[in-house]
Structure 1
Amino acid sequence: MESFGDMFYTEFAPAVRASAIELQSQRNSIQLEELLDALMQALPGYVMLINKQRQIVAVNPAMLCVTGVADTAELVGLRPGEALNCIHSDDAPNGCGTSEHCSVCGAVLAILESQHTSGQASHECHIAFKGNEQRVIDLKVFATPIVIRGEQFTVLALQDISGEKRRDVLERTFFHDVLNTAGGIHGLATLLVEHKNVPSHVEDEYKNWLVEMSGNLVEEIHHQRKLMMAERGEFQPQIVPVAVRDLLEEVHKLYRHHDRTPGRELVLADVPDCTLLTDRLVLRRSIGNMVINALEATPIGGTVTIYATKTSSVVSINVHNVGVMPREVQLQLFLRSFSTKSNVGRGIGTYSMKLFCERYLNGKVYYRSTADEGTVFTIELPCNP
């Protein structure tokens, strides 16, 4: 039976590694293949030659550049996630490929598939780097088998598709929401123009709706601009005193009759009387993301509960629903390009919550999801000094 300290322990891909002697022998063989070296230097993107144990034997200049090292020897023997400083590369004691998170990593999946089928495999991969800046990239991964002097290797080519993914998210979320809101504004404006004898009280109601919907449209545009600035490290939060009870009452009012989730009950439970120094609009939007995700995951007739707790050092804002997230969903939850929805969705929500609250509001975003408790998302922020 495997133990956590075992050199063969793994939660996904095989953990065993080639010895230093084996790696040196492989390096010597490859250095004799001038054509292979020339091809690797010419390939675009980040390119690695890896052995059967998924360890790096050779790389191209772009790989040296992205890892910040000057000599290939510094990367030899590492696995791809270790070389790229992936945030999950040391989740398990035997490194890249052996933790539970690796089971949904496109790079590991492509390598294993290529090794198994002896053919080219391609997957998409999202890598979050270690460090406080929370830098992330989306990659298209191509794994191609190659035999060198009788030994099996894999050419692993990584293409940065972050820009493409950002555009995709923009189309799936921002443009979708803006068009929906703009369509509603246009519809109401058309009613006012085409129906001259609308009762005054109805006309006043339509005008109020127009003001509210146009305000939502402006907020949506501003939020997308903030998100783009946040990803570039340029966002400046507007820190003001925020009464937690008032904020949660506002969120409750905004979402308790939301048109996308009819038939669900939204309950505001216990909230302590306390004040935070934070960005009110960003925090309200982040809590709103938690609420709308919980409502969408709740069947008609179900209940979602908002509540808060306070200790001497932190305030925790929580949203609970009775559902349980599949483990595969949990492992990818905070990825920018991940969505649980098969159609046009809001996959950016959990990612933006974590980005804003952890990087700019000095907080933490986390969840727990069990059969006994259901699912609770939490934003934890420091109390006022």
Structure 2
Amino acid sequence: PTQEIMLDCRRNFSALEHVIILGSEVEKGAIGYASLMDNSDPEIANPPVGADPFLLLYTSGTTSNPKGVPLTYQNMMSNSRLSVDRFKVTGEDRILSAAPFSHLYGLHCYHITLCAGAAAVLLPGFVPAQMAELVETMCPTAVFLGPAHAVALQSAGLLEKHDFSSLRFSVFSGAYCPPDLLRAYHASTGSSVCQLWGMTELAAGAYSYPDQDKEVGINSAGPVAPGNEIRVVGQETGEPVVPDAEGELQVRGSSVFPGYLDNPDANAEAFVEEGWFRTGDLAVIDASGNLKITGRIKELINRGGVKYNPVEVEEVLLSDPRIELVAIAPIPDARLGERACCFAQLRQDKVIDLEKVCALLESHGISKSKWPEDLIIVDEMPLTPTRKVIKGKLTEHLR
């Protein structure tokens, strides 16, 4: 069916010149990949330059409509090549990505593999038991995954049942990573734990790496990626803040995309003077230059004019053994404008109610003004390909 669909697209869109098929069943109008291999020429007729378009992706749409993101050869390849040195990846490594290659996180992992001449361990799709078996049988030396992947492996008891000792390091990205989860993962697998902060618009913007102190990887996304600069500015002033002060994270450098596709309004909002890109993330940078993401500006709860970051609340709730995934999101309120709703996906056979949620938050010293006023239990969280919660989908039927 896919071949027929793409051939139909070729007939209707003149810009689509070729449809190349893997496998032996090649329909008329398509080109078999094997025939290209048989007649290939090692000389590239028009070798690309850094500014040439390399890839077109779309933002995940967790807080707004997806936007087209064209990335250049420089954006993609410089980021991957420089990451090889930081992670000390060699041709002897075998790298597994739990993120799909249709997403930039998975593609970044794959390009690191290519740049180092390493082997890619391919996961057909994320199923916890299958991933654990793959790690045990194929013995990857590194894995790129998200916290929700680790939670699923942990909840099923697979980190203890299977042998993860081949992993030299594990990179976490895609969503907030609770330190307790990372410590438990390290204790179960023995793997060094790293965190990576990135976006569709720039791939890897900052990351910790195996040679750093363990606590750096557990508590932060490490220093800025080579070839880039990051800064935190005040939301009201737009001026850089002192170390450890929270503000809006901005980035510029070789991996930052040139601008959204055919979207001048979005570009005018996204870029400020001297080429700084406004990420929309809230963050702090400590005195050593290590980055910690503290939330998203668009995900702040605005309760009666008082804004607060829900990440602190989510971190406490994720520490409860009854809760597998959680998201605090704003829902409309006639009196306050917004109020906080807690969406929770529970572990098997576990129960919790709003009273117990609030008692847990009180025991951790969370201000009552930040307690959720509603609790909705969901069977399954809506997730992006990297298993980041799509909060907009949780609340769309309540607006």
- TM-score with structure 2 setting the length: 0.24
Higher relative helix content = 1
- TM-score with structure 1 setting the length: 0.25
Structure ID, larger Rg? 1
